[in-house]
Amino acid sequence: MRIAMKWGVIFAVAVILWTAAVHMMGFYTVRIEYADVVDRFALVLPAAAVTFALVEQRRALNGRLAFSRGVLTGVAVAAVSAPITVAALWVYHHYVNPEWLSILVSFQKQKLTSTGVPTEQVAAQIAQLQQRGGDQPQITNGLVGTLMIGLVISVIITPTIGILGRLGALGPGPGQRRTS
């Protein structure tokens, strides 16, 4: 559990630093049109945190990492990170960039209107965006989304680490000595 706690906190801190950097570069304010693209790169953060946690867990278990143990470790990393990240993003949305939703709504409205989307469809999509931007949906999506990402990544990475471990790519396995 220590490993999951360590990497969960690292993951949360990485998300906070990522958000701060992206904000300072204007991707959540004056360059909002690039926010979706930039946010996709942030998927590296949970993938890296879960991968490092699983590699460390494998080493702690003398090279043996059962699939179920790997998945539980990945989900635990996400479970530790989720409340920290959600709380930090709530602070960001309310105190650092309280205009983020209106900036996003304005951008989406302009984008939809310029592509010829009918007025009633624009209004419906904007209403949906405003509803999803409220506190409750943001908190729920942040918690559930983080847990789901942790689950999916650990389901993919755990067998990969097992294969790499058997090939010797992650250092010596059980009963093996490191050769120089």
In this predicted model, what pLDDT tens digit does every residue of 53-103 receive, in sequence order?
A: 999 999 999 888 899 999 999 999 999 999 999 999 999 999 999 988 888
135 falls within a domain? no
Our CA dihedral for 161, 167, 170, 174, rounded to 10 degrees, sits at: 100
Amino acid occupying residue 33: E
Beta strand spans in 37-121 (E):
none
Q: What is the pLDDT of residue 127?
A: 86
Residues 6 or more apart whose Cβ sits within 8 Å of residue 126? 105, 108, 109, 112
Domain count, the chain: 1
- pLDDT exceeds cutoff 80 at 174: no
112 falls within a domain? no
Reading phi first (left if > 0) and then psi (alpha if -120 to 50, else beta), residue 178 is in: beta
- Residue in this structure with the two tokens 């960001």, named with its chain if needed: 92
C-alpha dist (Å) from residue 110 to 84, 87, 105, 131, 141 = 34, 30, 9, 18, 26
With 0-12 / 13-18 / 19 or more C-beta atoms within 10 angstroms meaning exposed / middle / buried, residue 23 is middle
Amino acid occupying residue 47: A
SS3 31: coil
159 falls within a domain? yes
Look at residues 75, 69, 49 and name the one whose alpha carbon lies nearest to residue 150: 75
46 falls within a domain? yes
pLDDT in tens, 106-148: 888 888 888 888 888 888 888 888 888 788 888 888 899 999 9
65 falls within a domain? yes
Take residue 100 and report the two structure tokens written for it. Answer: 């983020």
Take residue 172 and report the two structure tokens written for it. Answer: 């010596």
94 falls within a domain? yes
Eight-state DSSP code of residue 171: B
Q: Show the domain range for 42.
A: 2-98+142-166
Look at residues 1, 12, 5 and name the one whose alpha carbon lies nearest to residue 60: 1
87 falls within a domain? yes
What global pTM score does this model have?
Answer: 0.83
Mean of pLDDT values over 157-169:
84
179 falls within a domain? no
